[in-house]
Chain A
Amino acid sequence: MDKKTPVISCRNVWKLFGPDPKQFLATLKPDASYENIRAQGYIAGVHNVSVDVGRGEMLVIMGLSGSGKSTLVRCMGRLHEVTGGEVLIEGEDIGKLDEDALINLRRRKMGMVFQSFGLLPHRTVLENVAFPLEMRGQDRHERRARALEVIELVGLAGREDYFPRELSGGQQQRVGIARSLAIEPDIWFLDEPFSALDPLIRREMQDEFLRLQNMLEKTIVFITHDFDEALRLADRIAIMKDGAIEQCDKPDQIVLNPATSYVAKFTEEIDKARVVHAGVLARPVNGIEVTGEPVSEASTIQSLARLLISDRRKLIPVAGKSGELVGVMDRQEALDVLLGSGS
């Protein structure tokens, strides 16, 4: 398998809920809408979704509640059997794996954090975290050591022997996170993992999470309905509505060029300047003469606000990581992002 193969690849995935979904899908017109399907007594949890996630990439899935985010992620881990299409994990169709192979794949590669934790009520924190290791048949001492390590990582050191019911919602959530990390998964699914945390800890966990991500280079699918969170974390964002992905793109593109009116409405409230980077606005130089200090392509427009307002240049050069010139940015365009286009 070469490096280019996406780690997760969904191809025309359907997940219908109802009495006989497979049969129903076979007779379904390809352009049937969500309402249409619903009128016939089925719910399209996932509606013809195709999306790839590359190695080390973090895809954030957003959407209103009931839009099918959790269902899509469950299809990726084959907690749901898909009704149509296929899910490839590192090029292999997981729908075709037999039970042993599937168990093996999950044991070696996958971790998942659940929206409502899914902790085993009869096990202590330590035993919950060590659970996946136990399933793999790791010996007691090793799994204990490893579990303690991740418990420490999520900041629950000292609570190893507590039972889930003795912990707050946020602490339980962290146990769930620790458990999913215990086997060092390559692929990490997180279903609203920070939703139960209070804002301060949430911020802390996000930072910790980013650090882990940089360090561990995992492939991550992350569900949230908090846009700020998405913007802080995402490489790409997929926005779902009625089981379908409306748009899947880099955060800048989502806010600058919403593909549908739904996405536009969804992103309306966002402060674009915080999202858009100079690099995105940069156009090819094409022989235009540039003058003065360049700005970094990685800076957000918001961070350039002072400069944009005081600078008099019409075109501002934009430089890449190592200082090379990557393009020029129209100052007016940047100001429009910063202040709104004034329409």
Chain B
Amino acid sequence: MTSFSRHALTGLWLLVLAVVLTALKPLLPPVLDRLPVWHPIWSHYLDTWFDWLQNDLGLIHVTRLAASGLGFLIDVAANLLYGKARWPRLEAIPWSTVAALAAVAGYYLGGWRLALLAGGTFTWCALMGQWKWTMETMSVIVIAAPFGFLIGLLLGIWSWKSSRVESVLRPVLAVLQTLPFFTYLLPAVIFFKVGPTAASVATIVYAIPPMILMTAVGLKKVSSDVVEAGKMSGCTRWQMLTRVYLPAARTEILIGLNQVIMLSLAMVVLTAFIGMPGLGAKLLAMMNSFKLGRSVEIGITIVLLAVTLDRLSKALVVKQPEHFEKGTPWWIRHQAWLVAGGVFVFFTALGRMVPFFNEVSRSQSLSVGSEIDDVMKAVLDWDPIQAVTGFLRYFFNVWVLVPTENALLYVPTFGLIAAITGFCWLMGGARPAIIGFVFFTAVAVLGWWDRAMLTLHSTVTATLLAVIIGMPLAIWASRSEKATRRMIYVCDTAQTFPSFIYLLPAIMLFGITPVTVILAILIYTMVPVVRYTIEGLRGVPAEMTEAADMSGATRWQKLVNVQLPLAMPTIAVGLNQALMFSFFMVIIAAFIGTRDLGQEMQRTLAGTDLGKNFTLGFSVVLMAITFDVAINAWAEKKRKLLGL
């Protein structure tokens, strides 16, 4: 106990120091208030280094070579999917064929409902006149996802085999997973030419980390009995890997595949920022010109696509091989493939004969974008709604966002560093505190301090709001079995949506204002908060709550004294994820018009300022990892204390 309080004391002293530094700001030597703006120097060094890498080392030739290979594959996919004039110069596969094949896949993986979802999604895309954009997006996914899967699988196997590789990969993956996506994009553009190739490279890099982790986890989990049985059967190492380990780790590997696909979709949509055509680009354009109706339609397409891809790949995870009775004829054994073949031939022929099934022309499309626009304008202009949104906008802006933002900007740099160090110390002791101190000092040294503070401000504010709104919601839902199930279903579905989508409702309600940014982040980060709070509360053992009931605790007492404390480690995981999501989202929100790191990063995309892009990107990474470390340390400590 004494060690604990001494522990807390150090943290508190650091916080006091922060307050003192802030109070004495006018008296401080300027260097304690703000470090000089050093980022041009770093950018310059980085640029020189990149230049050396690119030209002197000749990396550009390597990447250009890889790009041409990748570009070729994407062109083939593009030709087949939407008839881009590239080799093999075939006609595009009719939309009806794609939709029917998706339905067949859905049926064999998960029955009629999935068939309906998969077939329906592609039919919707075609009928809404979005076929070409959808296929532009898909042509990158169908190439990037398999590459991401394979590379991730290989790296996963490697990191499982060699602990040295694992120890190198782990921090790299941690950085990759917090790296703002703009930082993926610019190098991709510079090293791989603009367009689909750069998009697919960024997508692959972005999608790989979870695949590596899942593969390694799955391989580690293979039961020793199975391994020993393999060895006693006289397997060579290669046979062990291919016939014992990989098949036995099937579930985790397929979960990895699911994540690769979902991240690919999320990233492909975002590559609109580097000129990748497709659904993302259209959505971006429509939102830019405030055509909300069309935006909503495209948003729905993206969501449908996400849900379909997610459900299909998840169905693949749970799909177990079934045996056939003896003497089952071959056409029943291979029914799925035969049906798919038949469907392909039939619909392709149909498409050639009836143009509607080949391509839905503009005049035939069912898009009602402008009508939706009208309706939405009418609704939003309706006085009560105007009053509410107006009030919220005013309230948050004037009473929440502006004052807190100004306060944060007022704090001297070293005051804030002291505060962060103290916070980390309170959370997890010396190690997180040291990390926090070093990382935030690094942010200061990198020289984007004010912008970093703005990023931090949006992130933390939105996450706190998500907690304030999300936790009660989750507590309410966890009361009943039914509400729990529904809420988890909603969260799981919402989690599959590409992050870009979350901007849409925010823009619809609040237009282009700072409140919109917060709202977009808020919606996005609420998902993990609600999800993990429910999970934590439901995971409290029944004996504990029953014991509380028997001691005559009221509901409130039970919640505060028993359920929440026990659920805290799990909730902390959700909180951590929420923060990571916010860091991600706040950068994307640059598009709405922020003044933070993201805005500056978005500007770099137009040029070749790799150095600047990286100093900005790493400012975000350093902040994100600090919180990640501190919260995880805290959750771990709590878990130990509770004996979980």
Q: Are A124 and B323 in contact (CB under 8 A)?
A: yes
1/0 per residue, CB under 8 A from A, across B470-497: the answer is 0000000000000000000000000000
Which residues of B lie under 8 Å from residue A87 when comparing CB positions? none
Which residues of A lie under 8 Å from residue B233 when comparing CB positions? 106-107, 131-132, 135, 179
Q: Are A122 and B326 in contact (CB under 8 A)?
A: no
Q: Does A119 contact B (CB under 8 A)?
A: yes
Which residues of B lie under 8 Å from residue A103 when comparing CB positions? 234-236
Q: Are B225 and A136 in contact (CB under 8 A)?
A: no
Of the listed stretches A155-163, A289-297, A315-323, chain B binds A155-163
Q: Are A165 and B229 in contact (CB under 8 A)?
A: no
Min Cβ gap A145→B in Å is: 16
Given contacts A118-B225, A122-B247, A122-B250, contact A106 B323 (CB under 8 A): no
1/0 per residue, CB under 8 A from A, across B320-339: the answer is 11111110000000000000
Of the listed stretches A53-61, A109-117, A304-312, chain B binds A109-117
Q: Are A120 and B324 in contact (CB under 8 A)?
A: no
Q: Does A77 contact B (CB under 8 A)?
A: yes
Q: Are B225 and A117 in contact (CB under 8 A)?
A: yes
Complex CA gap A103/B225 in Å reads 17
Q: Are A118 and B226 in contact (CB under 8 A)?
A: yes
Which residues of A lie under 8 Å from residue B243 when comparing CB positions? 120, 131, 134-135
1/0 per residue, CB under 8 A from B, across A127-158: the answer is 00001101110000000000000000000001
Q: In chain B, what residue has the closest Cβ to A182?
A: B233
Which residues of A lie under 8 Å from residue B288 when comparing CB positions? none
Min Cβ gap B225→A in Å is: 4
Q: Are B323 and A158 in contact (CB under 8 A)?
A: no
Q: Are B226 and A166 in contact (CB under 8 A)?
A: no
Which residues of A lie under 8 Å from residue B546 when comparing CB positions? none
Q: In chain A, what residue has the closest Cβ to B232?
A: A112
Which residues of A lie under 8 Å from residue B244 when comparing CB positions? 120
Q: Are B229 and A119 in contact (CB under 8 A)?
A: yes
Q: Are B234 and A106 in contact (CB under 8 A)?
A: yes
Q: In chain B, what residue has the closest Cβ to A122?
A: B247
Which residues of A lie under 8 Å from residue B250 when comparing CB positions? 122
Contact-residue bracket for chain A = 35 or more
Which residues of A lie under 8 Å from residue B326 when comparing CB positions? 158, 160-161
Q: Are B234 and A120 in contact (CB under 8 A)?
A: no
Which residues of B lie under 8 Å from residue A111 when comparing CB positions? 232
Among the listed A110, A116, A122, A132, which residue makes an inter-chain contact with B248, where contact means beta carbons less than 8 Å apart?
Answer: A122
Q: Does A199 contact B (CB under 8 A)?
A: no
1/0 per residue, CB under 8 A from B, across A90-118: the answer is 00000000010001101100111011111
Which residues of B lie under 8 Å from residue A136 when comparing CB positions? 234
Min Cβ gap B83→A in Å is: 40
Q: Are A116 and B236 in contact (CB under 8 A)?
A: no
Q: In chain B, what residue has the closest Cβ to A100?
A: B236
Which residues of A lie under 8 Å from residue B381 when comparing CB positions? none
Which residues of A lie under 8 Å from residue B325 when comparing CB positions? 161
Q: Does B513 contact A (CB under 8 A)?
A: no
Among the listed A117, A120, A132, A176, which residue makes an inter-chain contact with B247, where contact means beta carbons less than 8 Å apart?
Answer: A120
Q: Does A121 contact B (CB under 8 A)?
A: yes
Given contacts A103-B236, A106-B234, contact A118 B229 (CB under 8 A): yes
Q: Are B323 and A162 in contact (CB under 8 A)?
A: yes
Given contacts A124-B323, A163-B320, A163-B321, contact A119 B226 (CB under 8 A): yes
Q: Does B228 contact A (CB under 8 A)?
A: yes
Q: Are B248 and A104 in contact (CB under 8 A)?
A: no
Complex CA gap A131/B244 in Å reads 10
Q: Are A79 and B232 in contact (CB under 8 A)?
A: yes
Given contacts A122-B250, A163-B320, contact A79 B231 (CB under 8 A): yes
Q: Are A120 and B229 in contact (CB under 8 A)?
A: yes
Q: Does A74 contact B (CB under 8 A)?
A: yes
Q: Does B239 contact A (CB under 8 A)?
A: yes
Q: Are A79 and B228 in contact (CB under 8 A)?
A: yes
Q: Are A132 and B225 in contact (CB under 8 A)?
A: no
Which residues of B lie under 8 Å from residue A135 when comparing CB positions? 233-236, 239, 243
Among the listed B225, B229, B234, B321, which residue makes an inter-chain contact with A122, where contact means beta carbons less than 8 Å apart?
Answer: B321
Given contacts A135-B239, A161-B326, A163-B323, contact A120 B248 (CB under 8 A): yes
Min Cβ gap A109→B in Å is: 10
Which residues of A lie under 8 Å from residue B247 when comparing CB positions? 120-123
Which residues of B lie under 8 Å from residue A74 when comparing CB positions? 228
Most chain B beta-carbon neighbours within 10 Å: one of A77, A161, A179: A161
Min Cβ gap B334→A in Å is: 15
Complex CA gap A213/B239 in Å reads 31
Min Cβ gap A104→B in Å is: 7
Min Cβ gap B248→A in Å is: 6
Q: Are B323 and A132 in contact (CB under 8 A)?
A: no
1/0 per residue, CB under 8 A from B, across A160-198: the answer is 111101100000000010011000000001000000000
Q: Are B231 and A106 in contact (CB under 8 A)?
A: yes
Complex CA gap A131/B229 in Å reads 10
Which residues of A lie under 8 Å from residue B236 when comparing CB positions? 99, 103, 135
Q: In chain A, what residue has the closest Cβ to B251?
A: A121
Which residues of A lie under 8 Å from residue B223 when comparing CB positions? 116, 118
Complex CA gap A118/B232 in Å reads 11
Given contacts A106-B234, A135-B234, contact A121 B248 (CB under 8 A): yes
Which residues of B lie under 8 Å from residue A189 when comparing CB positions? 232
Q: In chain A, what residue has the closest Cβ to B234?
A: A107
Q: Are B228 and A114 in contact (CB under 8 A)?
A: yes
Q: Are A120 and B228 in contact (CB under 8 A)?
A: no
Complex CA gap A120/B322 in Å reads 15
Most chain A beta-carbon neighbours within 10 Å: one of B225, B226, B230, B233: B233
Which residues of B lie under 8 Å from residue A162 when comparing CB positions? 323
Q: Are B229 and A114 in contact (CB under 8 A)?
A: yes
Which residues of A lie under 8 Å from residue B322 when comparing CB positions? 163
Min Cβ gap B393→A in Å is: 57
Q: Are A116 and B234 in contact (CB under 8 A)?
A: no
1/0 per residue, CB under 8 A from A, across B548-591: the answer is 00000000000000000000000000000000000000000000
Complex CA gap A200/B408 in Å reads 77
Complex CA gap A136/B320 in Å reads 28
Most chain B beta-carbon neighbours within 10 Å: one of A121, A158, A163, A165: A121
Chain B residues numbered 274-311 whose CB sits less than 8 Å from any CB in chain A: none
Q: In chain B, what residue has the closest Cβ to A128?
A: B229
Min Cβ gap B622→A in Å is: 36
Q: In chain A, what residue has the closest Cβ to B323?
A: A161
Chain B residues numbered 220-277 whose CB sits less than 8 Å from any CB in chain A: 223, 225-237, 239, 243-244, 247-248, 250
Complex CA gap A80/B361 in Å reads 68
Which residues of B lie under 8 Å from residue A117 when comparing CB positions? 225, 229
Which residues of B lie under 8 Å from residue A120 when comparing CB positions? 226, 229-230, 243-244, 247-248
Min Cβ gap A50→B in Å is: 24
Q: Are B225 and A116 in contact (CB under 8 A)?
A: yes
Complex CA gap A158/B326 in Å reads 8
Q: In chain B, what residue has the closest Cβ to A159?
A: B323
Q: In chain B, what residue has the closest Cβ to A117?
A: B225
Complex CA gap A193/B44 in Å reads 70
Min Cβ gap B317→A in Å is: 13
Min Cβ gap B186→A in Å is: 43
Which residues of B lie under 8 Å from residue A158 when comparing CB positions? 326
Q: In chain B, what residue has the closest Cβ to A104?
A: B234
Contact surface of A with B, Cβ cutoff 8 Å: 74, 77, 79, 99, 103-104, 106-107, 110-112, 114-124, 131-132, 134-136, 158, 160-163, 165-166, 176, 179-180, 189
20 A-B pairs within 8 Å (CB atoms) are namely A106-B234, A107-B234, A112-B228, A118-B228, A119-B229, A120-B229, A120-B244, A121-B248, A122-B247, A124-B323, A131-B243, A132-B234, A135-B236, A158-B326, A161-B325, A161-B326, A162-B323, A163-B321, A163-B322, A189-B232
* Beyond known contacts A107-B233, A122-B247: 20 more, CB 8 A cutoff: A74-B228, A79-B231, A79-B232, A110-B232, A116-B225, A120-B244, A121-B226, A122-B321, A124-B323, A131-B243, A132-B232, A158-B326, A162-B323, A163-B320, A163-B321, A163-B323, A165-B320, A176-B229, A179-B233, A180-B232
Ranked 5 nearest A-B pairs via Cβ = A107-B234, A118-B229, A118-B225, A132-B233, A161-B323
